[in-house]
Structure 1
Amino acid sequence: MTGAPNAAGWPHIYREGSANSSILLMLHGTGSNEQDIAQLAAELDPSAGVLAPRGRTQEKGMLRWFARRGEGLFDVDDVILRAGELAQFVGEAREQYGLGDRQFIAVGFSNGANIALATAMLHADVIDRVITFSGMYPFGDRTTEGDLSGSRFLVLNGRTDPMAPLESVTTVVQELRRQGADVEQVLRDGGHGVASSDLSAAVGWLKRL
């Protein structure tokens, strides 16, 4: 599928949330879907609105956000394309649901964390608040040159995660800070996943926004 559909044509979940609350843009991992990731929103902020779109690429029947050439080897051109599509979707959803100036906060796990990072780094005017669970640097050996001085990120990872190596995590944190972002990094023991300590850190970070 090529070309970004409008929000009405892109499978997604939308929940209104409390009046004037933030909207959690929930982005699932490989092999998961919008239904699964939307459930996590209530643990982060039960009053928030929820917008959970479905990844538009597939790998061996599993939903993803962008193509890759192997484990940890991303198709960077596709990353950039899909980040642009997601940014367009968010803008259209804002209009479709009459969300005005309600704040969007991207929350991604694994592949969803990677597309959240890519979208926020390339389209800071659309997404400037991000929580990543088990994400990594999404642009391979390329760098980007954006102004992220108003953006805030919470980056949560396991130190021994083979799917999101610490070297790549360090790169994304360094790049975000180099471009002016406010970055809080939390490392824990263990590997890929969303630990209870990650959730606690995310809830606390959201309350400080």
Structure 2
Amino acid sequence: MTTPQLTDWPHLYREGDSGRPLLLMLHGTGSHEEDIAALAAQLDPAAAVLAPRGRVQENGMLRWFARRAEGVFDVDDVILRAGELAGFIAEAREHYDVGNREIIAVGFSNGANIALATAMLHPEALNRVVAFSGMYPFGERSTEVSLSGSRFIVLNGRSDPMAPLSSVTTLMSELERQGADVEQVLREGGHGIDRADLEAAVDWLGRR
């Protein structure tokens, strides 16, 4: 499969204030780039925003990678799409003259999963992640890339049927094993982003 060029990949870009990070906003299944971009203003209204569109479709819904069933990912496709996203980030950094500005991925659900996969496989492209309602993206596989210098915040509901706590526990273990600086926020409830999640993410971003 040929890696798509930036001009062929639907996305939006908004310039932020000088010195502020760039938030890479990654939508969940069935959503799109405009929806998730609106979340950026609640996290850092002065940040630049880059929001690409998931390139996989499932029953007409946009996604970032294929899955075999609910919660069962096509891991080969996860790896492929993570590589594509890493290439997109590198091309966007040059195209939009981002320079050395810090890029922080903010993903929800399927968007969190592709952010995690990309950062765990390609830390040279992405090493800061805010993962809302994400889970471990590699099934039974492990990765061996050093994540020393990478930072993650993982925010989940304890009773989320779409991102089971067992998979979140695996995610935390793997991130720590690979040397990442990782913070976990667990709340009562299920899939979604609530006010406590947002407050924790804003606090984490302020300490970046």
**TM-score range normalised by the length of the shorter chain:** over 0.9
Which has the larger displacement, 199-208 or 6-15? Answer: 6-15
Structure 1 residues not aligned, in runs of 5+: none
Deviations 1:104-138, CA, capped at 9 Å, x for gaps: 00000000000000000000001000000000000
Matched, 1:189 2:175: no
Identity %: 71
Structure 1 partner of 2:47: 48
Structure 2 partner of 1:63: 62
Does the residue aligned with 1:58 lie in a helix, a strand or coil? strand
Structure 1 partner of 2:80: 81
Q: Which amino acid aligns with 1:137?
A: Y
Cα shift at 1:20: 2.5
8 Å CA contact 1:147–1:179 kept in 2: the answer is yes
Structure 1 partner of 2:6: 7
Q: Which amino acid aligns with 1:176?
A: L
Structure 2 partner of 1:126: 125
Does the residue aligned with 1:131 lie in a helix, a strand or coil? strand
Q: Which amino acid aligns with 2:8?
A: G
Q: Equivalents in 2 of 1:142, 1:38: separation in Å?
A: 31
Cα shift at 1:70: 0.2
Matched, 1:100 2:122: no
Q: Which amino acid aligns with 2:188?
A: D
Q: How does 1:130-141 map to 2 (within 5 A)?
A: 130-141=129-140
TM-score, structure 2 normalization: 0.99
Structure 1 partner of 2:146: 147
8 Å CA contact 1:22–1:105 kept in 2: the answer is yes
Does the residue aligned with 1:105 lie in a helix, a strand or coil? strand
Q: Equivalents in 1 of 2:73, 2:100: separation in Å?
A: 33
8 Å CA contact 1:3–1:85 kept in 2: the answer is no
Q: Which amino acid aligns with 1:173?
A: M
Cα shift at 1:19: 1.0
Q: Equivalents in 2 of 1:9, 1:96: separation in Å?
A: 13
Q: Which amino acid aligns with 2:174?
A: E
Cα shift at 1:196: 0.5
Q: Which amino acid aligns with 2:151?
A: R
TM-score, structure 1 normalization: 0.99
Does the residue aligned with 1:170 lie in a helix, a strand or coil? helix
RMSD: 0.6
Q: How many residues align?
A: 208
Does the residue aligned with 2:82 lie in a helix, a strand or coil? helix
Deviations 1:139-188, CA, capped at 9 Å, x for gaps: 00000001001000000000000000000000001000000000000000
Does the residue aligned with 2:18 lie in a helix, a strand or coil? coil
Structure 2 partner of 1:23: 22
Q: Which amino acid aligns with 1:140?
A: G
